[in-house]
């Protein structure tokens, strides 16, 4: 009898307790956009960030989007180096508890396109976002491609256009 009263009281407490507050997608993205591709799309490819790469983008305008994409790839090949050190770091771990977000292993963050130009280096994610920003500035629609491999933690991110 005593255990059933305790169990009933516990059950009642659980049923009438307010639910834990959850983080909205907007709040989540405002905290982790440097580590989450989907969130980064809105933060990194907004008009303000794209405008920061205008000086480079204007030089790479082609006769059409395919030509522009090739010019962007050539410019990146000549002006950027792959950041082997950053690539060797562990991927970030995002932990959400209610409205709190903690990010561990923050060395492998997503750079803004202007940061990639300034640093002159990056990893595949940084190259992809720079490519998308340069395409967007020149009026071309680009896509972020996230490639994952079965039974493997290693992945790849690239930019793509429709041809």
Q: Which domains does the chain have, with CATH numbers?
A: 20-160 (3.10.620)
pLDDT digits (tens, 9 = 90+) for 81-124: 999 999 999 999 999 999 999 999 999 999 999 999 999 999 99
Q: Please, are residues 133 and 57 in contact by the beta-carbon 8 Å criterion?
A: yes
Alpha helices of 99-163 — where are they, by DSSP H? 113-119, 124-137
Using one digit for the tens of pLDDT, what is the confidence trace for 114-154? 999 999 999 999 999 999 999 999 999 999 999 988 887 77
Q: Which distant-in-sequence residues (6+ apart) come within 8 Å of 98 by Cβ?
A: 20, 21, 22, 23
Q: Report how far residue 110's alpha carbon sits from residue 121's, in angstroms, rounded to the nearest whole number.
A: 12
pLDDT value at residue 83: 98
């Amino acid at each position: 009898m005593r255990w059933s009263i305790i169990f009933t009281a516990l059950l009642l407490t659980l049923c009438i307790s307010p639910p834990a507050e959850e983080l909205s997608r907007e709040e989540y993205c405002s905290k982790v956009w440097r580590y989450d591709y989907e969130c980064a799309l809105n933060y990194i490819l907004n008009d303000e960030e794209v405008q920061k790469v205008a000086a480079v983008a204007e030089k790479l305008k082609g006769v059409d989007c395919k030509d522009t994409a090739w010019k962007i790839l050539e410019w990146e090949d000549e002006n950027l180096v792959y950041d082997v050190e950053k690539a060797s770091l562990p991927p970030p771990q995002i932990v959400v508890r209610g409205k709190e977000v903690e990010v561990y292993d923050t060395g492998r963050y997503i750079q803004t396109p202007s940061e990639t130009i300034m640093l002159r280096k990056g990893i595949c994610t940084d190259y992809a976002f720079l490519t998308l920003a340069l395409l967007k500035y020149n009026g071309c629609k680009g896509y972020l491609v996230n490639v994952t491999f079965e039974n493997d933690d290693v992945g790849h991110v690239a930019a793509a256009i429709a041809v």
